[in-house]
Structure 1
Amino acid sequence: MTVNEVKELLKIYYDIPQMIDEEFATIRHCEEQKDRINLPSVNLSGLPGGKGVPGDRTANMALADQARYYEDEIMNCYRRIAALREKKNWLGLALGRLDKTDRYILELAYMGSPDPKQRHRTFRRPPWKEIADKVEYSESQTRERVRIAMLQLMMLADQTAFPGMVR
């Protein structure tokens, strides 16, 4: 995992539960839509059955692909949910291994507030000087602590393989 991947994961850490809820909503929607598909009965005679009714099995198979699309989408949602949960659990454990000050600096710099209303309304990465003042370090010390913390997170990530992660 690169530094940028760690930063992106830190940015979405507090949003992961909402992202999982959205995936479950997609699954519910797909289930509802899949149940609404009405396939025409198979006409085995091969003769046209009237206006707009396909008379061959190929057309019926093409119509049946709609149900497969929903099933594939549901499976993809479950895969994304599993990946999101795994990343959230890993990052929670990895952050727990860091020093309290380092975690606080990372939270200020990348994660924002745990409250979704505050995070989405006003989150911007504060200047390093502002972060340094809050943790009572110099700006250069604060940046160095973030650099070391990111390296620690990257090393911990190398010990864990995520689905779809290229090493």
Structure 2
Amino acid sequence: MATLHRPAPSHRTYLPYAPHLPRVTLPRTRPGRRTPPGPALARDLALPLGAVAAALLVAALMLTGESAHAAVALAVFALLTSAVSVPARPVVVPVVALVSWLFYDGFVLHQRSELAFQPQDRTGLLVLLLAGITGAGCAAAVRAVRRHLAR
């Protein structure tokens, strides 16, 4: 048969009483303040969020029923790539541009999720890489100016 007893409170650590030993008191700790997530979270999530945004953009273009004009779709993908590259780490920017190009080339240009490397595909890759580098460069310049003004 089990014996039921009252559980010890959660904020106190159990210390057995020994009359021959000095009593030890443990310092009480306060829970730390919760801080909102900083810009590091946006830097770390830039690639997955960019991939999801590119997939949603492709889905929106496919729902229109007609194939979008390639230049307009490339401009929209370039804007998306530069927007995602702003908070991204500089090392991740080429990967963001590559993921954006994969969606653009596979679903907008060839429409059957086939990748090719014809001249228009290379042009699209170059435009998206330049858009990513431009977005990351502008964000780095803004951060440098803020750091300079803070001194």
Q: How high is the TM-score relative to the length of structure 2?
A: 0.29
Query: Which has a greater percent of helix?
Result: 1
Higher relative contact order (CA 8 A, sep 6+): 1
Q: What TM-score results when the alignment is normalised by the length of structure 1?
A: 0.27
Which is higher, the Rg of structure 1 or of structure 2? 2
